[in-house]
């Protein structure tokens, strides 16, 4: 039997990306039977060459799907130009996979700064992120990465293989720049708002997205100090000092209100 249809069938039937080693273990016996004495290195070389041929075959415009390397393996997926029709079909089958804006913000921090601790995430976002971490762990989008060698030894977090699967990435090096990420977020929430109509809650979410874009127009997520400078927000001690400065002198006479 030809090797190419075997690999095509394996990749199609696999629920998760199938690695080269998995494919090798499945087809080596048939290859050895056809060519006794063939070396394992030569078998893997033939597998790689055949996989490249398959990838090239599916890259033509006559196919609506493609074979991609994702999370250390090979899998079939729909081409970007077919995403609209596939998304509409998927919505008719089951509720779409959604994350709240705080969860998406936290996931972005972890993806771009990993490994990172909860206090570091909270410092970047400006709000406590402990509850959101539990949600992302429950969704299996992040996982633990040991403990940081500082006082208290806080847990480090990083993105998981499920994260790569959900976002169709080969590895984290394929993550978009922050400008591209913010644009995708804004477009996603804008389309959701239009689909839902003039919902005040959706409008508020979109406004927050637009404000976030202004604060994150860089290739990296800003540090807490940079975020404060750009957004005009202050830390707790700074806010306290500001309030103290704004407090009127108790010895001054109260302001007179003009009845007009």
119 and 180 both lie in a single domain: yes
Helix (H) or strand (E) holding 120: helix 118-125
108 and 229 both lie in a single domain: yes
pTM over 0.85: no
Q: What are 90-109's pLDDT values in tens digits? A: 778 766 567 888 998 899 89
122 and 175 both lie in a single domain: yes
Whether 91 is covered by a domain: the verdict is no
Alpha helix positions (H), 168-199: 178-196
Q: What are 136-145's pLDDT values in tens digits? A: 999 899 999 9
What percent of the chain stands above pLDDT 90? 38
Last residue of a domain, one of 47, 79, 111: 79
Query: What's the CA gap between 125 and 116, in Å, rounded?
Result: 13
Helix (H) or strand (E) holding 66: strand 65-70
Is the Cβ–Cβ distance between 107 and 136 less than 8 Å?
yes
Q: What's the domain count of the chain?
A: 2
Residue 4 has pLDDT above 60, yes or no: yes
Is the Cβ–Cβ distance between 66 and 55 less than 8 Å?
yes
**Residue 201 preceded by cis peptide, ω within 30:** no
Domain range spanning residue 30? 3-79
Query: What's the CA gap between 25 and 150, in Å, rounded?
Result: 44
Residue 89 has pLDDT above 90, yes or no: no
Is the Cβ–Cβ distance between 165 and 71 less than 8 Å?
yes
Q: What is the dihedral of CA 55, 46, 16, 184, to 10 degrees?
A: -30
10 and 127 both lie in a single domain: no
């Amino acid at each position: 039997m030809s090797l190419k249809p075997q690999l095509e069938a394996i990749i199609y039937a696999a629920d998760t990306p199938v690695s080269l080693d998995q494919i090798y273990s499945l087809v080596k016996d048939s290859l050895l039977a056809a060519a006794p004495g063939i070396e394992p290195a030569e078998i893997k070389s033939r597998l790689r060459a055949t996989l490249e041929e398959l990838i090239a075959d599916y890259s033509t415009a006559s196919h609506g799907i493609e074979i991609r390397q994702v999370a250390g393996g090979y899998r079939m997926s729909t081409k970007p130009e077919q995403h609209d029709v596939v998304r509409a079909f998927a919505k008719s089958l089951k509720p779409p996979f959604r994350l709240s804006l705080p969860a998406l913000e936290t996931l972005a921090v972890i993806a771009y700064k990993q490994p990172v601790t909860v206090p570091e995430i909270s410092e970047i976002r400006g709000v406590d992120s402990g509850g959101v971490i539990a949600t992302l762990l429950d969704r299996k989008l992040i996982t633990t990465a040991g403990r940081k060698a500082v006082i208290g030894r806080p847990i480090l977090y990083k993105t998981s293989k499920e994260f790569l699967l959900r976002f169709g990435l080969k590895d984290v090096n394929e993550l978009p720049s922050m400008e591209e990420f913010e644009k995708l977020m804004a477009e996603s929430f804008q389309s959701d708002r239009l689909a839902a109509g003039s919902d005040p809650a959706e409008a508020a979410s979109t406004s927050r997205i637009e404000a976030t874009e202004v604060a994150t127009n860089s290739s990296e997520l800003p540090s807490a100090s940079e975020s404060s400078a750009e957004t005009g927000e202050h830390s707790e001690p700074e806010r306290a000092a500001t309030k103290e400065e704004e407090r009127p002198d108790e010895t001054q006479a109260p302001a007179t209100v003009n009845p007009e």
